[in-house]
């Protein structure tokens, strides 16, 4: 029987298949036996809730997910891991491995095909080079999921979970808070991975909201405004918005006045409500 919590077993299978880690694919595999069961338990997967995993690697988290969920669909880009996964996951009959790029695959279609409209969640130890694009893609496409439980670099976790309007917040905080309520679950030290990365990680859960927390008339303008405001986060809004949105400074000042936002405010001081109001005024004035 495969024991994926035993590091020497996992190392043995990887070396048997001549596997070498690819830095470019963000391959840092979990070897701390305590992390995956905890992540799987907190993911919301269950006997009636399916799960999509992105990047199963050697299958350590995948097998824990298969113990709590009725079905796991794991999307792995690296072909070299397919024979490894076949061996490590052999004892589970509720896992489907799909060899594809999670950034290109039609995830909505995949979920419709595999879960037939049933409840599902996403759970993954994300490759760090696509952390934000994958999260944003899943949120923007409004995948039919209840939550997204992901391991990301600790710094990214702090930024994502930071409440807009606080010092730690960034463009990603506002974008994520538009679609979900993020929760910081637990920290994972760099020594929990093979090979160990340079920084610690953390597991966060994004609980998907049924409706956005603020009323936005033009979503495209909302995200454009947030991005422009944070493009030069140390500058005040008249400067960052005028350069980020290619608008004359005087026009930006007029918009900020209408939205009742102080002219000396910076992006990190902006709440979700203020960003919504600002983008609503902008879309009205620019249309």
Residues binding ligand SAM (CB under 6 A): 25-30, 54-57, 60-61, 75-78, 81, 101-103, 125, 127, 130
CB of 194 to ligand SAM, least distance (A): 8
Question: Is 7 or 253 the residue whose CB approaches ligand SAM more closely?
Answer: 7
Question: Is 75 or 272 the residue whose CB approaches ligand SAM more closely?
Answer: 75
At 94 the three-state DSSP class reads: coil
Whether 202 contacts 210, CB under 8 Å: no
Question: Is 82 or 286 the residue whose CB approaches ligand SAM more closely?
Answer: 82
Give the ranges where 69-165 is alpha helix by DSSP (H): 82-88, 107-115, 131-140, 154-161
Whether 162 contacts 168, CB under 8 Å: yes
In angstroms, the CA 252 to CA 246 distance is 10
CB of 152 to ligand SAM, least distance (A): 10
The burial of 179, by beta-carbon neighbours within 10 Å (0-12 exposed, 13-18 middle, 19 or more buried), is given as buried
Question: Is 111 or 252 the residue whose CB approaches ligand SAM more closely?
Answer: 111
CB of 87 to ligand SAM, least distance (A): 15
Question: Is 29 or 115 the residue whose CB approaches ligand SAM more closely?
Answer: 29
CB of 88 to ligand SAM, least distance (A): 11
Instruction: Give the residue closest to ligand SAM by C-beta.
Output: 55
At 266 the three-state DSSP class reads: strand
Sequence-distant (≥ 6) Cβ neighbours of residue 41 within 8 angstroms: 68
* Token code pair at residue 156: 């990214």
Whether 16 contacts 72, CB under 8 Å: no
Question: Is 50 or 55 the residue whose CB approaches ligand SAM more closely?
Answer: 55
Whether 142 contacts 209, CB under 8 Å: no
Handedness of CA 57, 63, 68, 72 (dihedral sign): positive
CB of 177 to ligand SAM, least distance (A): 25
CB of 22 to ligand SAM, least distance (A): 7
């Amino acid at each position: 029987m495969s024991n994926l919590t035993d590091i020497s077993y996992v190392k043995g299978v990887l070396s048997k298949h001549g596997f070498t880690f690819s830095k470019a694919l963000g391959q840092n595999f979990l070897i701390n036996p305590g992390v995956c069961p905890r992540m799987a338990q907190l993911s919301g997967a269950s006997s009636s809730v399916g799960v999509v995993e992105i990047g199963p690697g050697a299958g350590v988290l995948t097998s824990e997910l298969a113990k709590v969920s009725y079905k796991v669909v794991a999307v792995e880009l690296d072909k070299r891991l397919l024979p490894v996964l076949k061996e490590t996951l052999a004892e589970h009959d509720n896992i489907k491995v799909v060899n594809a790029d999670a950034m290109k695959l039609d995830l909505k279609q995949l979920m419709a095909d595999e879960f037939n409209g049933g409840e599902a969640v996403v759970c993954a130890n994300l490759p760090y080079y696509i952390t934000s694009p994958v999260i944003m893609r899943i949120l923007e496409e409004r995948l039919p999921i209840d939550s997204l439980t992901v391991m990301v670099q600790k710094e990214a976790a702090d930024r994502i979970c930071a409440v807009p309007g606080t010092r730690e917040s960034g463009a990603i905080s506002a974008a994520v808070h538009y679609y979900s309520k993020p929760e910081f679950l637990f920290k994972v030290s760099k020594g929990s991975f093979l090979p160990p990365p340079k920084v610690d990680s953390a597991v966060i859960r994004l609980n998907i909201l049924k409706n956005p927390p603020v009323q936005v008339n033009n979503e495209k303008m909302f995200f454009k405004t947030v991005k422009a405001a944070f493009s030069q986060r140390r500058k005040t809004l008249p400067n960052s918005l005028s350069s980020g949105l290619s608008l004359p400074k005087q026009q930006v000042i007029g918009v900020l006045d209408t939205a009742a936002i102080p002219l000396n405010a910076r992006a990190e001081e902006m709440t979700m409500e203020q960003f919504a109001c600002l983008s609503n005024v902008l879309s009205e004035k620019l249309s």
